[in-house]
Amino acid sequence: MESINIGLAGLGTVAQGFIEIFGQKKQALSDKLGMELKIVKVASRSQKVDLEGLGAVFSTDLSSLVEDSAIDVIIELIGGEQDALELISAALKQNKHVVTANKEVIAKHGNSFKGEIDSGQLRFEAAVAGAIPILQGIGVGMVANDFGSITGIVNGTSNYILSNMSREGASFEESLKQAQELGFAEADPGFDIDGIDAAHKLTIMMALAYGQPFSFDKVITEGISHITSSDIQYASEMGFAIKPLAVVRRSGDEIAAMVYPALVEFDRILSQVNGVMNAIEVESDYAGRLFFSGPGAGSLATASAVVSDLGLIARNQGSAYPRLMGMEKLRITYPDQSTSSCYLRFDVVDEKGIFARITSALSESGISIDEVFQKNLDGGRASIVMITHPASDKDIDNCLSNVGELSEILKPIQRIRVLS
């Protein structure tokens, strides 16, 4: 049997999952793939796990993987941007295959690796939505299709936080701490809660689905840290969950991409995707609407996707993605003219007439209200909560800036989109 010699870079959460899978299934995998898989070297800044029994040499020098002519495939699991980028570039120059879970490097630098992505020398299934084979789904399984929209929950940490705040009534901070302890969160959790990680993943899906350059800078990104437990409760009373979404939509020859928290009606499956689970709903011309769901982060789940890329290399499968070269037919725009229903919460001094002043300001701006209620709070305060009918961003912006001037308004007005 021929063999593939693997150099593993990193010993973090996903790398440990990879080693665990390897320990349990090395022989079975080799049998399935018709190719003996060997981890010959592991490089990491420090040796945090016991490598006894793996039969691999350990090094603290990442470049020793690139220099080792016996290594066929480098699995980059060190994370971060710069060191990983250098390692990937150097490995590709040495004609090694590279498998990475690094969404940041692919989203920001994928355009300089178009040739290697097209040839299948560089693969990154684990970079998007953990265990879910969404890139192969889009790239191979749905290759016949044009995509109308992709709507996903692709950051497990944000979903875990919002689900926990909803189900357990836990605070934002407690929930984030738990996600960190469980190994889901990024080294810098700002990447999770500010929507950057989801924007990296959306950039990758958008490039593959629409054959576009990787355009991370064109994704509008809004985080979840302004969502309060009260918003989650009020939304629920009106029949919605609040979910951290990543959405790309095509309209004619234009596509627009945005990461934002949104109210999702309870009768949509996306609203029921909780905890660290990810889900992606894909609308296409022939296959219709497909729904992919599964664990989006975590050691073994993400490592499962790394092994899937390794499997494609072992079977000499070529690229799992559509060709990126020369397919720039669509224009990526900013979704600045979008129209959606909005959830609005006005925290006010509960004085006579304030409810009417707010609703008439909305009406004067041409914004109609679908549902509205008032919650009385202590200290003579109240929250006026509503969902509007679809309105343009511009009309809502103008109206809220006028209403925000009212002396009874106590805090910045909360505004969350509703997924249409």
Nearer Cβ to ligand HSE (307/385): 307
Residue carrying the six token digits 């250098």: 86
Using alpha carbons, list the distances in angstroms from residue 104 to 27, 83, 173, 400.
33, 12, 25, 35
Minimum CB distance to ligand HSE, residue 165 (Å): 16
Contact 149, 249 (CB under 8 A): yes
Minimum CB distance to ligand HSE, residue 80 (Å): 13
What count of other Cβ atoms lies within 10 Å of the Cβ of residue 90? Answer: 17
- Would you count residue 150 as binding ligand HSE (CB under 6 A)? no
Nearer Cβ to ligand HSE (273/358): 273
Nearer Cβ to ligand HSE (193/399): 193
Nearer Cβ to ligand HSE (131/348): 131
- Would you count residue 184 as binding ligand HSE (CB under 6 A)? yes
- Would you count residue 296 as binding ligand HSE (CB under 6 A)? yes
Span of 73-81, 162-170, 178-186, 373-381 interacting with ligand HSE by CB under 6 A: 178-186
Q: Give phi and psi for 32, each to the nearest 5.
A: -60, -40
- Would you count residue 297 as binding ligand HSE (CB under 6 A)? yes
- Would you count residue 307 as binding ligand HSE (CB under 6 A)? no
Minimum CB distance to ligand HSE, residue 127 (Å): 7
Judged by DSSP in three states, 363 sits in helix
List binders of ligand HSE among 242-271 (CB under 6 A).
none
Span of 48-56, 184-192, 343-351, 367-375 interacting with ligand HSE by CB under 6 A: 184-192
Q: Give phi and psi for 141, each to the nearest 5.
A: -60, -35
Minimum CB distance to ligand HSE, residue 296 (Å): 5
Minimum CB distance to ligand HSE, residue 192 (Å): 5
- The 8 Å CB, 24+ separation contacts for 393-396 are 393/336, 393/337, 393/338, 393/339, 393/340, 394/337, 395/365, 395/366, 395/367, 396/342, 396/365, 396/367
Contact 65, 43 (CB under 8 A): yes
CA 165 – CA 145 distance, rounded (Å): 38
The catalytic position among 38, 201, 218, 243 is 201
Tokens of 353: 């007439």
- Would you count residue 130 as binding ligand HSE (CB under 6 A)? yes
- Would you count residue 42 as binding ligand HSE (CB under 6 A)? no
- Would you count residue 192 as binding ligand HSE (CB under 6 A)? yes
- Would you count residue 10 as binding ligand HSE (CB under 6 A)? no
- Would you count residue 68 as binding ligand HSE (CB under 6 A)? no
CA 304 – CA 21 distance, rounded (Å): 8
- The 8 Å CB, 24+ separation contacts for 247-250 are 247/149, 247/150, 247/151, 247/152, 247/202, 247/419, 248/149, 248/150, 248/202, 248/205, 248/206, 248/209, 248/210, 249/148, 249/149, 249/335, 250/146, 250/147, 250/148, 250/149, 250/210, 250/330
Near ligand HSE by CB under 6 A: residue from 156, 244, 275, 295: 156
CA 333 – CA 340 distance, rounded (Å): 17
Near ligand HSE by CB under 6 A: residue from 186, 194, 222, 309: 186
In the residue annotation, 201 being an active-site residue is answered as yes
CA 240 – CA 243 distance, rounded (Å): 9
Near ligand HSE by CB under 6 A: residue from 16, 100, 136, 157: 157
Span of 84-92, 152-160, 267-275, 386-394 interacting with ligand HSE by CB under 6 A: 152-160
Span of 45-53, 181-189, 246-254, 351-359 interacting with ligand HSE by CB under 6 A: 181-189
Span of 179-187, 250-258, 265-273, 346-354 interacting with ligand HSE by CB under 6 A: 179-187
Provide DSSP, 182-207: TT-S-SSTHHHHTSHHHHHHHHHHHH
Catalytic residues: 201
**Which residues are at the interface with ligand HSE (CB under 6 A)?**
130, 155-157, 184-186, 192, 197, 296-297
